[in-house]
């Protein structure tokens, strides 16, 4: 398990707050890997080997594995077992259901004896309220990453609806803060919403924010840092396709490393500018 203190230490040591998203699609990996018994795991293994000194987290997206049935779940378990223990492991599952179902989802991703996996953190959709979050918090030391404000075009459909607590996404943050502290709860905030970070920091000044959307989705790292970084960094910025699919030949892992290094170097500049390192 990775504590808040350990996460901050990793950021300072690696001069990075990069999360590499393992959204691994069998149709997009190099053709030569398909000769291996588990092409998805072989791809992930090489990406991890190439980037583990440049990032502080990995985030497999459950859909890319569950869509392949038992083979996909085997690839996910193998990937989980291979992840470096000094990096935060996030399962991007976006689960959200009532208590007894959430108990089973939590078991699937947090109970290694039951499922073969025990990720450090899971993304959760909170719109069924505390029932969809608290079962995960029952696992000591595990993180819950609550969907707050996304980069999707559909975010305006619900997330900006007004309530007595302000926008709906603001109400989500305020309520989730009553379930656990900044050592257990993070929030998902899309990178293309960078100017909203100032507002979000009013309600979540100390929480880490998982920020997708930098890279292929067009988010601006400098703006995210300008509006969202706090004294501990407080950001985990995810890049998936722009890194893992940077190359498509036998040297794909080298291309992934080059792209990850480019992002890490930009992050180092931002960390130094903010006085975090």
Angle between helices 69-82 and 39-51 (to 10 degrees): 20
Burial class (CB in 10 A: 0-12, 13-18, 19+), 250: exposed
Per residue, the 3-state secondary structure of the chain, as one string, reads CCCHHHHHHHHHHHCCCEEEEECCCCCCCCHHHHHCCCHHHHHHHHHHHHHCCCCCEEEEEHHHHHCCHHHHHHHHHHHHHHCCCCCEEEEEEEECCCHHHHHHHHHHHHCHHHHCCCCCEEEECCCCHHHHCHHHHCCCCCEEEEEEECCCCCHHHHCCCEECCEEHHHHHHHHHCCCCCCCCEEEEECHHHHHHHHHHHHHCCCCCEEECCECCCCECHHHHHHHHCECCECEEEEECHHHHCCCCCCCHHHHHHHHHHHHHHHHHHHHHHHCCC
Query: How many Å apart are CA 53 and CA 135, to the nearest integer?
Result: 33
- Return the structure tokens found at 144: 């819950």
Report yes or no: 67 and 27 within 8 Å, Cβ to Cβ. no
12 noted as active-site residue: no
Choosing from 12, 45, 71, 94, the catalytic residue is 94
The catalytic residue positions are 94
């Amino acid at each position: 398990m990775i504590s808040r203190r350990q996460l901050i230490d990793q950021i300072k040591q690696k001069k990075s707050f990069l999360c590499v998203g393992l959204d691994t699609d069998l149709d997009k990996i190099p053709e030569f890997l398909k000769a291996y018994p588990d092409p998805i795991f072989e791809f992930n293994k090489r990406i991890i080997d190439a980037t583990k000194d440049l990032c502080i987290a990995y985030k497999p997206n459950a859909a890319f594995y569950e869509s392949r049935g038992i083979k996909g779940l085997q690839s996910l378990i193998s990937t989980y077992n291979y992840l470096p223990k000094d990096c935060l492991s996030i399962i991007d599952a976006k689960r959200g259901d009532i208590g007894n179902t959430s108990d089973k989802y939590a078991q699937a991703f947090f109970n290694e004896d039951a499922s073969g996996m025990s990720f450090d953190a899971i993304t959760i959709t909170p719109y069924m309220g505390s029932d969809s979050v608290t079962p995960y918090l029952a696992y000591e030391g595990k993180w819950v990453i609550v969907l707050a404000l996304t980069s999707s075009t559909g975010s305006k459909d619900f997330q900006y609806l007004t309530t007595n607590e302000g926008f709906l996404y603001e109400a989500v943050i305020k309520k989730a803060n009553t379930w656990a502290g900044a050592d257990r709860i993070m929030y998902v905030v899309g990178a293309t919403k960078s100017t909203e970070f100032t507002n979000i920091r009013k309600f979540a000044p100390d929480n880490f924010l998982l920020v997708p959307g930098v890279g292929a989705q067009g988010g601006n790292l400098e703006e995210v840092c300008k509006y969202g970084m706090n004294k501990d960094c407080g950001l985990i910025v995810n890049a998936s396709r722009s890194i893992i699919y940077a190359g498509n030949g036998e040297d794909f892992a080298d291309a992934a490393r080059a792209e990850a290094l480019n992002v890490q170097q930009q992050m180092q500049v931002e960390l130094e500018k903010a006085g975090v390192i």
